[in-house]
Amino acid sequence: MKSIIARTMGVAAAATGLTLLSAPTAYADPDDLTVDISGTAGQVVMAAQFDAVGAVICIMWVTPVDAAVPVAVVGPDVVLEGEEVELRARVDPGQYTVRWGCIGGPLGVLSDEQWGTTPPLSSGTVEQTTVTVTEGPGTGSLGSLGSLGNLYGS
């Protein structure tokens, strides 16, 4: 019985120590994340740039405007301080609704800072975007098959 209590107390102390070490000292300003969503030839592109110390993790959902199920889910992808990352989904020509979410924190530690649309966030910071994708590379008769790979990160 004593060893179970000792192990439990040791695990609790270790968890508390990790929590204290990972506690953020500052939060990113909402203006520190810039996101641009666009439809191009055969793709939907989400360009994300983080201009604060640390990193954010972003994900994008692309759904045809007349459907409820995404044809592409891209991410999660890490955007480091001062870096711009493009999340790309190859899709057939048409109109798409784009939803996205990013969570970040100082020095790469996740925090309560969130940006994105509702959904996936319970209270979004921006409205979802509708884009038009034109015919281009990667589209056509096999374009939608290529989009399925985005569901699995390929």
Domain boundaries, the chain: 26-152
For 79-99, write each residue's pLDDT tens digit: 998 899 999 999 999 999 999
- Classify 26-152 by CATH class: mainly beta
Mean pLDDT of 43-49: 96
Token code pair at residue 67: 């459907």
Is the per-residue pLDDT at 105 higher than 50? Answer: yes
State residue 31's pLDDT score.
77
Cα separations (Å) of 68 from 18, 61, 62, 63, 97? 40, 11, 10, 7, 10
State residue 29's pLDDT score.
60
Cα separations (Å) of 62 from 47, 109, 114? 14, 27, 19
Q: Are residues 57 and 104 in contact, defined by beta-carbon separation less than 8 angstroms?
A: yes
67 vs 154, higher pLDDT: 67
Q: Are residues 115 and 35 in contact, defined by beta-carbon separation less than 8 angstroms?
A: yes
